[in-house]
């Protein structure tokens, strides 16, 4: 009964989405307030129904209803409850429902937090989002219904893929999807502005916080995914340039460009058509990611089971949504005005140059990811594009990007003089260079790549200190001046600091990591990176739905115990899949990472053990955390909260 | 203002590629060995391990070379086709038992029938590497001069056999 | 007493074997070279893993093959050529630069030049198109009003450079 309620809720939600996609847009076009005003109630209704559908599926999982095909395929009665809940989005159909539910949530949020916007704009924005929702609900109901019954019911489920039975994977997909789906708000604002023909700085101001929030979610989602890969896959890598990772990286890069481009558009009313194009591109790339993951056109470790019918559906959906928006863009963009004046040397120009670099970076990820497909389609044979390509292309793009990142926040709006700016930053550059050249000497072998990485990182840090000094330094009340700075100023600095911390992590871990692959008898010790690892053997332990061989490794440094690590080798009961659970001791200066290989045949308790020492690896995620925090600070800026009051004031003043 | 239509044009080109891509199998890797002489090998026979079979022994005839294993489920699906083919006697089929135990292989052949003129064992998978084997079953068609003319990765289907392999066999035998 | 004895007996194997852990590989230097090479090669079975990290049987065979060829004194390039002749360019994560990969390798840099060129051109063009501080169109005016609001808002910090 419950699954049928869920199915029915989805059908009604589709109907409401259809109304939401049609009525308010017609209303806005015909100046019909009655039609326009249907947008909010429809948005609320749709959200309620999607929430019901989502809860129904969650209930089916928690209640072990194996008469639901999707539940039977992705759960098991032995599965811990938390993973039963996260199994809702552990497969294709359910993750699609999560996507639709989150989209409903974003639509609701826009409906609630848009009271200060003109009714016509709200009607169009919600209408466009409604149309997107129609596409996903149709897709789900026609090709991927999560509520399909399995009759007779299975005695027990096939279990959730053990790789996904992990806390990281409980939150990674919702976060990432919040980001993907969140870009639909910026997209809807852009389309609404194109439809209405009123594309001005106010539009940029309205869509800016939404874009930033989506970007923050996406940053968090990607970082959690990368962190999960690091501790779960067992060989200590954190980014593999896999097509699915790239599919999330592309909208992130374009989203980053969009945030910066919106700044120029809001401030100067300039490059509006470019900003609109980026807003369309960010969401289009989110949709493209869905296509790549779910259609089976590319091989990936993460992709869902491929089904050509689904592929055709998503592709048609892509063509309709993206094709129509780009045509609308081609039609309306030429009429967009130029905006305010600024010089070739200005903060605006620096922001736009970064836009060019970010777009080119996105394009190169795009080319690299899809090149095998292009070659195959043209009959030039198969080839692979992997990490060496992306690394070779990325480094030359990142260097100028980071150099400008340091200058951007220091440069004047409208116009700056190069000699003056150069004079201001000369000490910052000199100190960054000095640290970059000397620091590697204290850590081990000196190499040009490490020095370059550190130069970039310390350049950001040095210019940040310079900027803070210029704004907060001098005589008088420091606290007052510190409070006087806007939150978005601090947001920028924190996010940029995050990039610096990230670069330090990447540079040092790839430069100075130690890896040992050894055979360890019980009691054997291993000297690596100044630590002594002692293998104390393996015991069998029972997990809720697996049996594990749990190793005990004690680590000491100069004879003093540091920590104990318990790497596991698990065997899941239902799937029989072996899983390596690495044990990691996380530290400010780096991680000790131990994972169990296989028992050595013919020995008494000896195992193959892999030991990694990963200096500064956590700085990678600390960096992304700071980037996200910067975004949060920027959104909290009172400018956006102010807006609501001033608009109401203006409206109140107008009505008097 | 042609530049504003450019994003649309680029997108449509990409979409066309994606459409074509839906019909392609990204997992299938064409062998660069087709059209090249088959790599030399000399392997012990499955039923008489002290006797070797080498590529030279097949010179002058057109033959099918089927790589299979008892642990490979897809092999069971294509096997009846080879049984049928061996009854028709149109082309000799040689089997290479890939990374398998001889007992398991023999038991498997007892259960499913043996269509092979001769079977060799590649227990360590070394000849497999020379032939670029990566997914069992794989089937090669080799001509009288010892040149690989066709390779099928994965199970051979009835369609492959009637539309591609057998016409090619006829053509090569006539040469 | 008896417990102590049992405890000691339990510890016995620990002492019996205690020693320095031995590398899994017979020749760690060669192993490092092999892994370095294998990291840039794609495993054909589980196709999105490198040959270095894959646990599949074929990957193990291929690692053994690479190791043996290295022992025979073959150069990295010779080993790569050997694998390409059997599996095609597909095994290379680092695709070779040739006619069909020009777009792949040079595309991003062509785009970078084009993007930078377009940006400079656009910036120059619009600078000459916009008359100084003249806001004629209604739309630009609206925009400017809002901008002024932000820029001169009392809540807005004074930018020392502005």
Report the C-alpha gap between A119 and A134 in whole angstroms: 22
CA distance A100 to A481: 45
Mean pLDDT of A530-554: 93
Average pLDDT estimate for A173-187: 95
Residue B19 lies in a domain: no
Q: Which residue of B has its CA nearest to A366?
A: B14
Task: ipTM value, please give it.
Answer: 0.90
DSSP B155: -
Q: Tell me which chain C residues have a C-beta less than 8 angstroms from the C-beta of B135.
A: 44-45
User: Which among B7, B17, B18 has CB closest to A329?
Assistant: B7
Question: Is the previous residue joined to A460 through a cis bond, with omega within 30 degrees of 0?
Answer: no
pLDDT > 50? residue A88: yes
In sequence order, what are the beta bridge partners of A587? Answer: A590
Q: Is the pLDDT of residue C13 over 50?
A: no
Q: What are phi and psi of A221, to 5 degrees?
A: -60, -45
- Examine residue C151 and state whether it is found in any structural domain, yes or no: no
Evaluate whether residue B21 is within a structural domain: no
Q: Indicate whether C126 pLDDT > 90.
A: no
The chain A residue lying nearest C132, using CA atoms, is A341
Phi, psi (degrees; rounded to nearest 5) at A648: -65, -40
Structural domain count of chain C? 2
Strands, E assignment, A40-171: none
Domain annotation covers residue C35: yes
Claim to verify: residue C86 and residue C114 sit in the same structural domain? no
For A201, C25, C32, the CA distances from C29, given in Å and listed in that order, are 61, 9, 5
> Hey, of B24, B134, B151, which one would you mutate to test binding to chain C, going by the most C CBs within 10 A of its CB?
B134
CA distance A502 to A175: 20
* Most confident listed range (A42-56, A237-251, A327-341, A440-454): A42-56
SS3 A68: strand
Contact C13, A604 (CB under 8 A): yes
Which of C54, C74, C95 finishes a domain? C95
Phi-psi sector, A414: left (phi>0), alpha (psi -120 to 50), beta: left
Query: Residues, chain B, total?
Result: 175
CB A268 within 8 A of CB A340: yes
> Residue C136 pLDDT more than 70?
no
Q: How does the average pLDDT of chain A come out, rounded? A: 90
Cβ-in-10-Å burial (0-12, 13-18, 19+) of B40 comes to exposed
Cis peptide before B137 (omega within 30 of 0): yes
CB-based contacts of B112, cutoff 8 Å, min separation 6: B76, B79, B83
Give CA–CA dist B31/B35, Å, rounded: 10
What's the Cα-to-Cα distance from A418 to each of A343, A421, C115, C160, rounded to whole Å? 12, 5, 22, 17
Do the domain assignments include residue B16?
A: no
Report the pLDDT averaged over residues A140-151.
Answer: 93
pLDDT digits (tens, 9 = 90+) for A316-346: 999 999 999 999 999 998 888 777 888 889 9
Indicate the pLDDT class of residue C3, thresholds 50, 70 and 90: low
> Which is more confident, A255 or A163?
A255
Instruction: Tell me whether residue C159 is in a domain.
Output: no
Residue C145 lies in a domain: no
Chain B positions touching A333 (Cβ under 8 A) are: 1, 4
Give the Cα separation of A650 and A635 in Å (integer).
23
The verdict on residue B13 lying in a domain is: no
Mean pLDDT of A208-222: 96
Cβ(A108)–Cβ(A43) under 8 Å? yes
Domain identity same for C47 and C77: yes
**A3 vs A60, A247, B143, CA distance in Å?**
7, 32, 59
Cβ-defined contact of A526 to C120 (cutoff 8 Å): no
| Cross-strand partners of B96 | B67, B120
Residues linked to residue A584 through DSSP beta bridges, in sequence order: A593
Mean pLDDT computed over B88-112: 92
Query: Is B30 close to C88, i.e. CB distance below 8 A?
Result: yes
Instruction: Tell me the mean pLDDT in the region A485-497.
Output: 93
Q: Residue B100's closest chain C neighbor by CA? A: C57
For position B110, what pLDDT does the model report?
93
Determine, yes or no, domain membership for B20.
no
Residue C15 lies in a domain: no
Q: Are residues A282 and A187 in contact, defined by beta-carbon separation less than 8 angstroms? A: yes
C76 and C50 within one domain? yes
What is the C-alpha to C-alpha distance for residues A154 and A167, in angstroms, rounded to an integer?
27
C106 lies in which domain range?
A: 97-127
Compute the average pLDDT of residues C87-116: 92
Residues of C within 8 A of B129 (CB-CB) are 61-62, 65, 86
Residue B24 Cα, gap to closest chain A Cα (Å)? 7
The H-or-E segment that residue A35 falls in is helix A33-36
Pair of tokens at residue A113:
């937090």
- pLDDT, greater one: A48 or C24: A48
Which residues partner with A519 through β-bridges?
A608, C22
Q: Are A7 and A147 in contact (CB under 8 A)?
A: yes
Band (pLDDT 50/70/90 cuts) for residue A484 is confident
Asked whether the beta carbons of residue A382 and residue C90 sit closer than 8 angstroms, the reply is yes
Task: Classify residue C109: in a domain, yes or no.
Answer: yes
Q: Evaluate whether A516 touches A610 at the Cβ level (below 8 Å).
A: yes
Domain extent, residue B167, equals 28-174
> What whole-number distance in Å separates Cα of residue B48 and Cα of residue A161?
44
Same domain, C73 and C103: no
Q: Is residue B23 part of a domain?
A: no
What CATH number does the domain containing C72 carry? 1.10.8.640
Q: What is the DSSP letter of C92?
A: B
Beta carbons of B17 and A373 less than 8 Å apart? yes
Q: Helices (DSSP H) in A156-242: which residue ranges? A: 167-196, 201-232
**Which residue on chain B is closest to A363 by alpha carbon?**
B10
Instruction: Identify whether residues C33 and C57 lie together within a single domain.
Output: yes
A334 touches chain B (CB under 8 A): yes
Per residue, the 3-state secondary structure of A294-338, as one string, reads HHCCCCCCCCCCCCHHHHHHHHHHHHHHHHHHHHHHHHHHHHCCC
Are C159 and A519 a contacting pair at CB < 8 A? no
Domain count, chain B: 1
- Give the residue ranges of DSSP H helices in A31-118: 33-36, 39-62, 69-74, 81-86, 92-112
Size of the B and C interface in Cβ pairs below 8 Å: 43
Q: How many helices (H) and strands (E) does chain C have?
A: 6, 1
Question: Does residue B134 lie in a domain region?
Answer: yes
Q: Which pLDDT score is estimated for C45?
A: 75
Phi-psi region of A590 (alpha: psi -120 to 50; beta: other; left: phi over 0): left
Q: How confident is the model at residue C135 (pLDDT cuts 50, 70, 90)?
A: very low
CATH number where B117 lies: 3.40.30.10
Cα angle value A582/A586/A590 (rounded, 5°): 110
| C residues 51..90 contacting A (CB < 8 A) | 53, 88-90
- Number of residues assigned to chain A: 656
Please give the angle made by the CA atoms of B40, B43 and B47, to the nearest 5 degrees: 145
> C89 and C27 in one domain?
yes
Q: Which residue from A minimizes the CA distance to C142?
A: A200
How many other CB atoms sit within 10 Å of the CB of residue B109?
20
Do C77 and C109 belong together in one domain? no
Q: Per residue in B115-171, pLDDT tens?
A: 999 999 998 888 998 898 888 899 999 999 999 999 988 888 888 888 889 999 999
What's the start-to-end Cα distance of chain C, in Å?
84
Q: Which of A215-229, A564-578, B23-37, B115-129 has the largest mean confidence?
A: A215-229
User: Which pLDDT value is given to residue A302?
Assistant: 59
Distance from C-alpha of B63 to C-alpha of B61, rounded to nearest angstrom: 6
Residue C52 has pLDDT above 70, yes or no: yes
Q: In this model, does residue B39 exceed pLDDT 70?
A: yes
Q: What's the pLDDT at C137? A: 55
Q: Left, alpha or beta for A450 (phi > 0: left; psi -120 to 50: alpha)?
A: alpha
Listed range (A193-197, C46-50, C148-152) with the worst mean pLDDT: C148-152
Terminal CA-CA length for chain A? 56
Q: Indicate whether C42 and C69 sit together in one domain.
A: yes
The subunits that touch chain C, with at least 3 C-beta pairs less than 8 Å apart, are A, B
A299–B20: do the CB atoms touch at under 8 Å? Answer: no
């Amino acid at each position: 009964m419950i699954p049928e309620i869920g199915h029915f809720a989805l059908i009604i939600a589709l109907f409401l989405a259809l109304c939401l996609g049609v009525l308010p847009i017609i209303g806005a076009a015909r100046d019909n307030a009655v039609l326009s005003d249907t947008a909010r109630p429809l948005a609320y209704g749709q959200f309620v129904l999607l929430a019901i559908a989502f809860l129904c599926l969650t209930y089916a999982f928690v209640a072990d209803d194996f008469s639901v095909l999707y539940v039977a395929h992705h759960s098991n009665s032995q599965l811990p409850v938390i993973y039963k809940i996260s199994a809702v989005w552990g497969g294709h159909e359910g993750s699609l429902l999560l996507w639709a539910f989150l989209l409903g949530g974003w639509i609701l949020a826009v409906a609630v937090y848009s009271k200060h916007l003109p009714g016509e704009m709200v009607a169009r924005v919600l209408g466009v989002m409604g149309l997107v929702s129609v596409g996903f609900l149709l897709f789900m109901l026609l090709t991927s219904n999560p509520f399909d019954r399995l009759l007779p019911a299975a005695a027990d489920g096939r279990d959730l893929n053990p790789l996904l039975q992990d806390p990281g994977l409980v939150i990674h997909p919702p976060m990432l999807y919040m980001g993907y789906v969140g870009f639909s708000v910026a997209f809807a604002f852009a389309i609404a502005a194109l439809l209405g023909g009123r594309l001005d700085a106010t539009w940029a101001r309205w869509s800016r916080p939404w874009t930033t929030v989506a970007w923050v979610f996406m940053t968090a989602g990607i970082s959690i995914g990368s962190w999960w890969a690091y501790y779960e896959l067992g060989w200590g890598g954190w980014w593999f340039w896999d097509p699915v990772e790239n599919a999330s990286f592309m909208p992130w890069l374009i989203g980053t460009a969009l945030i910066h481009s919106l700044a120029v558009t809001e401030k100067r009313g300039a490059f509006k058509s470019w900003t609109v194009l980026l807003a369309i591109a960010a969401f289009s790339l989110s949709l493209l990611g869905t296509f790549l993951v779910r259609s089976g056109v590319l091989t990936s470790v993460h992709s869902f089971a491929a089904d050509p019918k689904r592929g055709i559906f998503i592709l048609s959906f892509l063509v309709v949504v993206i094709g129509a928006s780009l045509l609308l863009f081609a039609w309306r963009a030429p009429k967009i005005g130029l905006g305010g004046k600024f010089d070739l040397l200005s903060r605006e120009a620096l922001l736009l140059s970064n836009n060019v670099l970010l777009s080119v970076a996105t394009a190169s990820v795009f080319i690299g990811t899809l090149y095998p497909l292009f070659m195959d389609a043209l009959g030039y044979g198969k080839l692979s594009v992997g990490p060496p390509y992306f690394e070779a292309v990325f480094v030359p793009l990142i260097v100028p990007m980071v150099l400008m990142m340091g200058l951007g926040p220091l440069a004047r709006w409208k116009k700056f003089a190069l000699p003056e700016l150069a004079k201001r930053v000369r000490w910052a550059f000199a100190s960054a260079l000095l640290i970059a050249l000397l620091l590697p000497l204290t850590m081990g072998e000196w190499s040009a790549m490490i020095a370059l990485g550190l130069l970039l990182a310390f350049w950001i840090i040095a210019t940040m200190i310079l900027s803070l000094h210029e704004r907060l330094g001098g005589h008088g009340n420091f606290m007052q001046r510190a409070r006087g700075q806007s939150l978005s100023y601090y947001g920028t600095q924190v996010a940029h600091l995050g990039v610096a911390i990230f670069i330090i992590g990447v540079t040092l871990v790839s430069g100075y990591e130690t890896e040992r692959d050894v055979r360890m008898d019980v009691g054997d010790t291993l000297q690596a990176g100044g630590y002594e690892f002692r293998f104390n053997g393996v015991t069998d332990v029972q997990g809720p739905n697996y049996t594990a061989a749990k190793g005990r490794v004690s680590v000491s440094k100069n004879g003093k115990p540091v920590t104990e690590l318990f790497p596991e080798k698990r065997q899941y009961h239902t799937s029989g899949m072996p899983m390596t659970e690495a044990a990691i001791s996380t530290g400010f200066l780096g991680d000790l990472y131990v994972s169990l290989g296989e028992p050595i045949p013919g020995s008494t308790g000896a195992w193959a053990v892999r030991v990694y020492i990963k200096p500064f690896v956590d700085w990678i995620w600390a960096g992304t955390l700071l980037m996200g925090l910067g975004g949060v600070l920027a959104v909290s800026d009172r400018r956006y909260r102010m807006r609501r009051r001033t608009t109401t004031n203006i409206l109140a003043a107008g009505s008097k | 203002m042609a530049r504003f239509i450019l994003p649309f044009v680029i997108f449509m080109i990409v979409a066309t590629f994606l459409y074509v891509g839906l019909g392609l199998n990204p997992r299938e890797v064409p062998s660069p060995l087709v059209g090249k002489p088959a790599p030399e090998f000399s392997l012990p026979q499955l039923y008489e391990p002290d006797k070797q079979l080498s590529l030279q022994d097949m010179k002058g005839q057109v033959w099918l070379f089927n790589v299979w294993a008892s642990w490979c489920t897809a092999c069971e699906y294509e096997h009846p086709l080879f049984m049928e083919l061996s009854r028709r006697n149109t082309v000799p089929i040689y089997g290479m038992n890939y990374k398998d135990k001889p007992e398991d292989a023999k038991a498997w052949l007892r259960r499913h029938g043996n269509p092979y003129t001769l079977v060799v064992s590649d227990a360590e998978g070394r000849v497999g590497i020379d032939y670029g084997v990566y997914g069992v079953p794989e089937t090669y068609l080799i001509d009288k001069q010892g040149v690989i003319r066709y390779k099928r990765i994965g199970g051979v289907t009835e369609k492959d056999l009637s539309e591609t392999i057998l016409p090619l066999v006829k053509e090569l035998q006539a040469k | 007493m008896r417990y102590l004895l049992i405890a000691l007996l339990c510890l016995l194997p620990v002492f019996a074997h205690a020693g320095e852990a031995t590398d899994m590989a017979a020749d760690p230097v060669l192993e490092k070279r092999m892994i370095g090479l294998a990291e840039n090669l794609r495993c054909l079975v589980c196709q999105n893993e490198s040959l270095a990290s894959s646990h599949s049987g074929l990957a193990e065979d291929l690692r053994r093959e690479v190791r043996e060829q290295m022992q025979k004194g073959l150069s990295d390039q010779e080993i790569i050529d050997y694998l390409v002749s059997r599996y095609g360019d597909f095994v290379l994560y680092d695709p070779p630069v040739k006619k069909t990969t020009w777009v792949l390798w040079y595309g991003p840099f062509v785009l970078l030049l084009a993007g930078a060129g377009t940006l400079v051109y656009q910036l120059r063009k619009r600078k000459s198109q916009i008359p100084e501080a003249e806001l004629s169109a209604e739309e630009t005016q609206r925009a400017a009003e809002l901008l002024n609001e932000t820029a001169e808002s009392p809540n807005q910090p004074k930018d020392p450079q502005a």
